[in-house]
Chains A and B, each alone.
Chain A
């Protein structure tokens, strides 16, 4: 309860700051929504011309993309600014201040630095999901809607873990570019069904960097598909569990990095 009221205070203070730059914020939100909107249209046009993509209908691929975007936006809402700035915060000593607060440092940073811009991504991806379900003629039972929300949260935890795993090395490496290289490049792999790729890539995306659990496997369940590659069909239900486990591991890694924080000279 205490934390909730503190969080509202953070939101309030950030909104006040934002109001000062409202034009800049609104235009950047619109621009981002437009950017992703265009991506959706591109996917749609491309697949529409081919009819299907490895057995996936255009709206099915769009649902896939929406799941990835939605979970990324939820994780990014809390972590994007913090994890993008972590390296420079450590370098210029700003991180010291974080450690003088009577709070868990990750919770403090996630509360202080949320990115409201991602709300537009979330809205866009939810709308696309709805449109996809309608066009595919899939009826969602209340149970399925609840499970979809849980899966999105699980996928968001996977995305959040990726934010942490790629940013925490900043505690040791001064110029940490892992996040840009690994994270953003890899993420584009799951814009399409991973059954498109060869087995090696499928194994990596399932077992090593389990991005396929963000959208490919849960989509099997919601779209009623049977595309399990070489893996077990129980994978369609595993997203929440995998998200939880990965995020706990990532959080442990974060704490490990924190213990190695060296601060700067002055």
Chain B
């Protein structure tokens, strides 16, 4: 049985129409006009326990609205959500015991105190047993490398350190599911890496289901095994990440520095897309031609100084999808 089930869920927001100018302001005083904005449009998703789900989409696509409905913060306008068999908007507090939530840059920690004071509070709030609490704190402090700043007031921590502490606090009670809304936003590469590693470890160790929203495709590649893409409130992809790559990421790239300016490549399967002096950028579809064959074709009749092979980047594919809003 899936741990999260979203069935035909729609969420509408009523927005006040603001009319222009002074007379408009007077008019809106007397009669309000509303506009219905459909943030989430009849979506259905099903997620199994232990899955690592990347939830992506452009700004305003409906990601946060969906996550908030899953947490029980917002009530769907229609449709049904079941998280671990419960409707989160009806049994909000009971559902909250079962989940961990980290909302982007918003902190759950007490600013003036070291993080362990907040940990103590959450121990009480979530009724975590002493043994489990001690074990988890040790485990997280080790895994997130927090020894050095464990007893330092939160306000003195760097962004990356704060994010690590926030994720730890959200996981103290061993939730079945953790929702991470842009957990790596604004962090440096090392900090991002630590967090990605940690999420994978937690998933492996405790079978925690992870739902993660991000704009950083490296997060997706490094953490997720499932991808859900949403745009304008509709699901445009829902499936395994590997499947997504196999289906949509064909364009492998070879960048070649030729000795000779007039080098030619005579094969319709290889397309030259960019020429900068001696350097040519060539793309090919892995389904038509293997990388080995492509390289041998390029080097057969030309003297090659240098050659670089690039895997297709998921980011490029997703960018194209957002831009064209093509439905898959």
Chain A residues engaging chain B, CB cutoff 8 angstroms = 2, 5-6, 9-10, 13, 16-17, 20-21, 93-94, 96-97, 99-104, 259, 261-263, 265-266
Write out the residue numbers on chain B whose beta carbons fall within 8 Å of the beta carbon of A102.
93-94, 96-97, 125-126
Given A13-B113, A16-B113, A94-B106, are A99 and B125 also a contact pair (CB < 8 Å)? no
Question: Please, could you name 10 A-B residue pairs with CB atoms under 8 Å apart, sorted by A?
Answer: A13-B120, A17-B113, A20-B153, A94-B106, A96-B68, A101-B125, A102-B125, A261-B73, A263-B65, A266-B64
- What are the 4 closest A-B residue pairs judged by CB atoms, nearest first? A102-B96, A102-B97, A6-B124, A100-B101
Which residues of B sit under 8 angstroms from A17, Cβ to Cβ? Answer: 110-113
Which B101-130 residues sit within 8 Å CB-CB of chain A?
101, 103-104, 106, 108, 110-113, 117-118, 120-121, 124-127
The answer, yes or no, to whether B72 is at the interface (CB within 8 Å) is yes
Cβ of B169 to closest chain A Cβ, rounded Å: 12
Q: Is the beta-carbon distance between B93 and A263 smaller than 8 angstroms?
A: no
Chain B residues whose C-beta falls within 8 Å of the C-beta of A265 in the assembled complex: 60, 64
**How far apart are B132's CB and chain A's nearest CB, in angstroms?**
16
| Measured CA separation A99–B97 after assembly (Å) | 12
Closest CB of chain A to B34's CB: distance in Å? Answer: 13
Residue from A10, A13, A93 within 8 A of B106 (CB atoms): A93
Q: A266 contacts which chain B residues (CB < 8 A)?
A: 64, 104
Residue of A nearest to B179 (CB): A100
Residues of A within 8 A of B117 (CB): 13, 16
Q: Would B71 and A100 count as touching, CB distance under 8 A? A: yes
Pick the residue among B73, B96, B112, B127 that contacts A16 (CB under 8 A).
Answer: B112
- Interface magnitude class on chain B: 20 to 34
Beyond A97-B103, A266-B64, 10 extra complex contacts between A and B, CB < 8 Å? A2-B124, A2-B127, A6-B121, A13-B117, A97-B106, A99-B96, A100-B71, A102-B93, A261-B73, A266-B104
Q: Is the CB of A263 within 8 A of B74?
A: yes
Are A10 and B13 in contact (CB-based, < 8 A)?
no
Q: Report the Cα distance A262→B74, complex, angstroms.
A: 7
Question: Could you give, for residues 186-199 of chain B, a 1 whenever the CB lies within 8 Å of some chain A CB and a 0 otherwise?
Answer: 00000000000000
A79 to chain B, nearest CB (A): 20
Interface residues as binary, B124-161 with A (CB distance below 8 Å gives 1, 0 otherwise):
11110000000000000000000000000100000000
Q: Would you call B71 and A99 a contact (CB within 8 A)?
A: yes
Report if A99-B106 is in contact (Cβ < 8 Å); known contacts: A9-B120, A13-B113, A262-B13. Answer: no
Task: Name the CB-closest residue of A to B60.
Answer: A265
B106/A5 in contact, CB under 8 A: no
Contact A103 B93 (CB under 8 A): yes
Q: A23 → chain B, closest Cβ, in Å?
A: 14
Please tell me if B53 contacts chain A, counting CB pairs below 8 Å.
Answer: no
> In chain A, what residue has the closest Cβ to B111?
A17
Interface contact B110-A263, CB-CB below 8 Å = no
How long is the Cα–Cα vector from A16 to B112 in the complex, in angstroms?
8
In the assembled complex, which residues on chain B have CB atoms less than 8 Å from the CB atom of A263?
65, 68, 73-74
Distance A259 CA – B75 CA, assembled complex (angstroms): 8
Q: Interface code B212-252, partner A: CB below 8 Å = 1, 0 otherwise?
A: 00000000000000000000000000000000000000000
